[in-house]
């Protein structure tokens, strides 16, 4: 009796009858290892209190113990939960006008220079109440979850003033607890210079007021900078990074997205956890990133949506960089929170196999958040975050452009999303 009570408290669960378990165990994937997704056939996952205690093959000795809850996954396939490690999740309003202007030939940076682009979203987000922001961000996050995402990185940067930036970061925490997922918060005050301030004053304000406040309140784990021509220069970024390091933040950077400023080289120097975009990154800077273990975060939907070139992924692969993929979900440069669409586009534009894609959105994406010790693969002592597909293999999820037959999403062993459509198989 005592033992049974203890087992219930421990919340012991076995997920069994998994035809293919894509475990991704064994650490980050580079070069040829990118294709090795460590499949276990006819598998089970044993979970105690959110954490995987064992995975393996269901052999003849597989026994049912009455103290444990058994969940039959009916011969479906299982992958780790996807990690969307670069998003701008919290905002209000749309950028339809800017889109139409771009269709007329205007570039993204021209729109920003005219005081539109990011500034339009800043206005909309400033004017929003916390309830409105939570409602919208929750809707958008839930859609990501319905596409297999169990962890989201979410940046501020649509407030620029103290109150709105803090509001955005608090919304992250609220949405994470409402939806029972992990949201990793990043302060991206350096997204644009507010219209009523000089750049120098704004940088002083960020490093002397906002960053210490965020640290004290524990509202963000990362500091990110949009290092771009006419936005923040390399020198500006250095000022922000120096203070961020002193305060104990981890670093990310929007690097070499539209112009080759050298953000990738700076990322290597400052040992950023990831450098993101990298469309115009110099080869020597990429090599430097590799030597300093900086993850190359590629965002295919941004190139696609802005009709830009794609990052030089073959060079990155050949040279052994750790490559990850994310949506960059935001209302301007990448209005896409369909994670499955992102993976399918990535496969086609970067010439990646489904297995390579899977490595880049699980264990490698976990590394881009410095969380590969607890998530990104299905193995002992990691969180039981996983997705159940009614497909024969993960290849079908990427090669098909239609319904991915995604059935269920589990976070820390708990069901957080299920497909209730009767018409699917």
Binding site for ligand NIG (CB under 6 A): 88, 117-118, 121, 226, 254, 257, 302, 328, 330-334
CB 330, min distance to ligand NIG, A: 4
121 binds, among Fe ion, ligand NIG, none (CB under 5 to 8 A by kind): ligand NIG
Please give the residues from 328 up to 367 whose contact with Fe ion meets the rule CB under 5 A: 328
Nearer to Fe ion, 328 or 391 (CB): 328
Give the span between the Cα atoms of 294 and 280, in whole angstroms: 17
Contact call for residues 220 and 369 (beta carbons, < 8 A): no
| Residue linked to tokens 């293999």 | 393
**Residue 268 main-chain phi, psi, to 5 deg:** -65, -45
118 binds, among Fe ion, ligand NIG, none (CB under 5 to 8 A by kind): ligand NIG
CB 206, min distance to ligand NIG, A: 16
Please give the residues from 311 up to 330 whose contact with Fe ion meets the rule CB under 5 A: 328
Nearer to ligand NIG, 120 or 411 (CB): 120
Nearer to ligand NIG, 20 or 254 (CB): 254
Give the span between the Cα atoms of 87 and 290, in whole angstroms: 23
Nearer to Fe ion, 24 or 273 (CB): 273
CB 88, min distance to ligand NIG, A: 5
Nearer to Fe ion, 240 or 384 (CB): 240
CB 27, min distance to ligand NIG, A: 28
Nearer to ligand NIG, 329 or 386 (CB): 329
Contact call for residues 293 and 321 (beta carbons, < 8 A): no
Strands 323-325 and 386-389: unpaired
CB 328, min distance to Fe ion, A: 5
Please give the residues from 398 up to 417 whose contact with Fe ion meets the rule CB under 5 A: none
383 binds, among ligand NIG, Fe ion, none (CB under 5 to 8 A by kind): none
Number of residue whose CB is nearest Fe ion: 328
Give the span between the Cα atoms of 346 and 57, in whole angstroms: 32
Cα-Cα-Cα-Cα dihedral of 106, 109, 110, 112, to 10°? 120
> For Fe ion, how many residues bind (rule: CB under 5 A)?
1
Contacts of 33 (CB under 8 A, 6+ apart): 359
Nearer to ligand NIG, 46 or 226 (CB): 226
User: Could you say which DSSP state residue 262 is in?
Assistant: S
CB 333, min distance to ligand NIG, A: 4
CB 253, min distance to ligand NIG, A: 11
For residue 405, what are the CA distances in angstroms to 140, 197, 355, 393, 394?
20, 50, 18, 11, 11
Q: Give the residues across from 71 on adjacent strands.
A: 15
In this structure, what token pair is assigned to residue 334?
Answer: 């990448």
CB 117, min distance to ligand NIG, A: 6
13 binds, among Fe ion, ligand NIG, none (CB under 5 to 8 A by kind): none
- CB < 8 Å & 24+ apart, contacts of 122-127: 122/158, 122/159, 122/160, 122/164, 122/192, 122/194, 123/93, 124/91, 124/92, 124/93, 124/158, 125/90, 125/91, 125/92, 125/93, 125/158, 125/159, 125/164, 125/168, 126/158, 126/159, 126/161, 126/164, 127/92
Q: Where on the chain is the footprint of Fe ion (CB under 5 A)?
A: 328
């Amino acid at each position: 009796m005592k033992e049974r009570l203890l087992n219930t408290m421990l919340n012991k669960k076995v997920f069994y009858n998994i035809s293919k378990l894509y475990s991704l165990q064994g650490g980050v994937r580079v070069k040829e290892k990118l294709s090795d997704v460590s499949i276990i056939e006819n598998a089970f996952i044993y979970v105690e209190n959110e954490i995987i205690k064992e995975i393996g093959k269901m052999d003849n000795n597989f026994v049912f113990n009455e103290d444990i809850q058994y969940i039959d996954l009916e011969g479906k396939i299982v992958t780790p939960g996807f990690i969307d490690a670069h998003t701008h999740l919290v905002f209000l309003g749309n950028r339809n006008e800017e889109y139409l202007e771009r269709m007329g030939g205007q570039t993204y940076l021209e729109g920003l220079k005219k005081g539109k682009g990011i500034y339009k979203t800043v206005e909309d987000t400033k004017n929003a109440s916390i309830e409105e922001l939570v409602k919208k961000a929750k809707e958008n996050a839930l859609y990501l979850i319905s596409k297999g995402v169990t962890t989201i990185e979410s940046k501020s940067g649509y407030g620029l003033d103290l109150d709105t930036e803090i509001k955005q970061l608090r919304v992250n925490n609220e949405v994470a607890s409402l939806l029972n997922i992990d949201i990793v918060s990043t302060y991206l005050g350096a997204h644009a210079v507010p219209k009523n301030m000089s750049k120098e004053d704004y940088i002083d304000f960020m490093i002397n007021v906002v960053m210490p406040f965020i640290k004290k309140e524990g509202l963000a784990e990362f500091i990110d900078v949009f290092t771009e021509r006419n936005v923040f220069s390399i020198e500006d970024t250095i000022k922000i990074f120096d203070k961020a390091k002193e305060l104990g933040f981890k670093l990310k950077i929007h690097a070499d997205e539209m112009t080759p400023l050298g953000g990738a080289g700076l990322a290597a120097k400052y040992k950023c956890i990831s450098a993101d975009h990298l469309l115009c990154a110099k080869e020597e800077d990429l090599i430097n990133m590799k030597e300093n273990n900086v993850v190359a975060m590629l965002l295919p939907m941004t190139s696609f949506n802005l009709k830009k070139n794609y990052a030089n992924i073959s060079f990155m692969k050949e040279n052994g960089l750790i490559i990850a993929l994310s949506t960059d979900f935001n209302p301007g440069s990448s209005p896409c929170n369909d994670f499955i669409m992102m993976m399918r586009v990535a496969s086609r534009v970067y010439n990646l196999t489904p297995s390579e894609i899977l490595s880049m959105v699980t264990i490698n994406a976990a590394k881009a958040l410095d969380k590969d010790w607890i998530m990104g693969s299905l193995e002992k002592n990691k969180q039981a975050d996983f997705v159940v597909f009614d497909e024969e293999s993960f290849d079908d999820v990427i090669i098909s452009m239609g319904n991915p037959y995604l059935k269920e999403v589990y976070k820390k062993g708990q069901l957080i999303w299920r497909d209730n459509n009767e018409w699917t198989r």
